[in-house]
Amino acid sequence: MASGIETIYTAIDVGTTKVATLVAKVSSAGTMEVIALGHSSSEGMRKGLVVDPVELTESVRKSTQEAQEMLGTELPAAYVGITGGHLTCINAAASLVTKGKSAKTFSQDDVDRLLNSTVEQSDQRRRIVHVVPRSYQVDGLQGVRNPIGMNGSQLAAESHVVVGDVATMQNLEQVVRAAGVNVHGLVIEHLASAEAVLTAEGREAGVVLVDIGGGTSDIAIYRDGALWNTAAIPVAGHHFTNDIAIGLGLPVSVAEVTKLAHGSALLDQVGPHDVIEVDSGLGEHTRPISHQTLNQLLHDRGVELMRMVIYKISQSGLTKVPPGGIVLTGGCANLHGLAEIAAEYGKCLVRVGTPSGVLGLPSELEQSSFSTAVGLLLWAIQHRHPGAVAESVTLNANVLSRLSGWFSRFTPRRITEVRV
């Protein structure tokens, strides 16, 4: 980055349950400062697909306008997260031989040309979203991390290529534009969340990131420091809530509140006679439900989800979870006991990842449901200015003064009283 120049980045995480907008300023010294944010509940999105553009545009507008008011000027074009079953991935290889086979020093242009040639764009309905290099080979030397500046006559790359459905992605881009913000680029949410919560050591050891949101669970698998595979499972927090609604005969809104306030995926937390009084949905009346049934429903869904995660890991070609274990993030990662189920079924270490520690984010943003939004910012910075590292993140005073009220609107609270 040229000295003295500050660049402003916008990230919008259009999730199934919330739309989070973050605006950050990156100084020439590489310091990232969050200068504006917005948040709204999301309507019109299901499992990563736009199902009601009008409602979703309104949700995005609320979130981006809040950020815009805080910023005091129009938002710069945004990096927007995408996910969903339309994404497919393949691992591909390509090589580039220099003219006359004489040695040359490989440049960024050579690498870009090589990566662009890894897959042929044959189907007009599909679009390449990312070509992420796994490793390079220079004149037969394997496992090269970064060939720029190396000399040789043949450069080869193995890449992880993510392809998405053109119409699906255009729908999302149109919604963001209709809300008044230009789109700079789409980034898959798995990679964004990974930027925010994984460590370099974890990626080196091999690690599985699982971002469990409201509608999808996004998986990114890393091996030897590089991306190995990505996958999305259309099961997440809403399914836990729906199970409670159906299993206990509750309105979905009551089931959601009950899940957040009392739910645990562990079976040994309560006895057969433990009862919780919940809102009946009929005025002031409450009704008793079995706490054990509540937890059993969450446990069963948790086991099913973790089995699907393990299956996706095996489909990627790994026989077991790599040594770095599983990192859960996304709002649903906070479900009490889910990490224990993941550890049991994955036979591995499990931790809940938040966008903390990595960059010294202020505690207000250290929530697992913000991993994607924070990661989108980090992705944007890395890819617009390769080599730039956000060394510290601070909120300016203007933002800080508004934050306490902002966060208290949606931070889940655990209500602990249980009637027995």
Binding residues vs ligand ATP (CB under 6 A): 15-18, 42, 213-216, 236-238, 241, 256, 259-260, 263, 330-332, 334-335, 369, 412
Query: Vertex 112, ends 111 and 113: CA angle to 5°?
Result: 90
Residue showing the smallest CB distance to Mg ion in the complex: 213
Kindly state the smallest distance separating residue 261's Cβ from ligand ATP, in Å: 9
Binding site for Mg ion (CB under 5 A): 15, 213, 372
Q: Which is nearer to ligand ATP, 134 or 299 (CB)?
A: 299
**Interacting residues of 104 by C-beta distance below 8 A, sequence separation 6+:** 98, 110, 151, 152, 153
CB of 151 to ligand ATP, least distance (A): 44
Query: Residue 394 phi/psi, 5° resolution?
Result: -135, 155
Choose from ligand ATP, Mg ion, none: what does 335 bind? Cβ within 5-8 Å by kind.
ligand ATP
**Residue 18 contacts which entry, Mg ion, ligand ATP, none (Cβ below 5-8 A, type-dependent):** ligand ATP
Cβ at position 196, least distance to Mg ion in Å: 11
- Partner in contact with 260, chosen from Mg ion, ligand ATP, none, beta carbon below 5 to 8 Å by kind: ligand ATP
The alpha-carbon radius of gyration of the chain (Å, integer) is 23
C-beta closer to Mg ion: residue 241 or 372: 372
Which of the choices ligand ATP, Mg ion, none does residue 193 contact, using the CB cut-off of 5 to 8 A by kind? none
Which DSSP string do the residues of 352-419 spell out, in sequence order? E--S-SSS---GGG--GGGHHHHHHHHHHHHHHSTT-----EEE-HHHHHHHHHHHHTT--------B
The nearest distance, CB 35 to ligand ATP, in angstroms, is 22
User: Rounded to an integer, what distance in angstroms lies between the CA atom of residue 266 and that of residue 15?
Assistant: 27
CB of 10 to ligand ATP, least distance (A): 17
Cβ at position 50, least distance to ligand ATP in Å: 12
In this structure, what DSSP letter does residue 47 have? T
Q: Which is nearer to ligand ATP, 18 or 312 (CB)?
A: 18
Q: Give the residue nearest to ligand ATP (CB).
A: 237
Shortest distance in whole angstroms from residue 16 CB to Mg ion: 7
What's the rounded Cα separation, in Å, for the pair 36 and 373? 12
Q: What angle do CA 249, 251, 253 make, to 5 degrees?
A: 140
38 vs 213, which CB is nearer to ligand ATP?
Answer: 213
Length reported for the chain: 420
Among residues 42 and 137, whose Cβ is nearest to ligand ATP?
42
238 contact, one of Mg ion, ligand ATP, none, CB 5-8 Å limit per kind: ligand ATP
* Helix (H) or strand (E) segment spanning residue 315: helix 291-315
Residue 100 corresponds to which tokens in the numbers above?
């006359």
Q: How many CB atoms are located within 10 Å of the residue 215 CB?
A: 22
Q: Which among 151, 312, 330 is positioned nearest to 240, based on CA atoms?
A: 330
How far is residue 24 from each of residues 37, 72, 374, measured CA to CA in Å?
A: 9, 13, 10
- Angstrom distance (rounded) from CA 117 to CA 134: 15
Among Mg ion, ligand ATP, none, the one that 312 touches (CB under a kind-dependent 5 to 8 A) is none
Q: Please report how close the Cβ of residue 16 comes to ligand ATP at its closest, in angstroms.
A: 3
When the beta carbons of 56 and 310 are compared against ligand ATP, the nearer one is 56
Residue with smaller CB distance to ligand ATP, 42 or 118:
42
Residue 410's Cα: distance from chain center in Å? 19
Between 166-178 and 53-71, two packed helices, what is the crossing angle to 10 degrees?
50
**In this complex, which beta carbon is closest to ligand ATP, that of residue 152 or of residue 355?**
355
Q: Would you say 322 or 337 has its CB closer to ligand ATP?
A: 337
**Which of the choices Mg ion, ligand ATP, none does residue 324 contact, using the CB cut-off of 5 to 8 A by kind?**
none
CA atoms of 172 and 327, how far apart (whole Å) = 28
Question: Among Mg ion, ligand ATP, none, what binds residue 40 when CB lies within 5 to 8 Å by partner kind?
Answer: none
Closest distance to ligand ATP from the beta carbon of 14 (Å)? 8
CB nearer ligand ATP, residue 111 or residue 361: 361
230 binds, among ligand ATP, Mg ion, none (CB under 5 to 8 A by kind): none
With CB cut-offs between 5 and 8 Å by kind, which of Mg ion, ligand ATP, none does residue 164 bind?
none
Residue 144 beta carbon to ligand ATP: minimum distance, rounded to whole angstroms: 35
The answer to whether the beta carbons of residues 69 and 396 sit under 8 Å apart is no
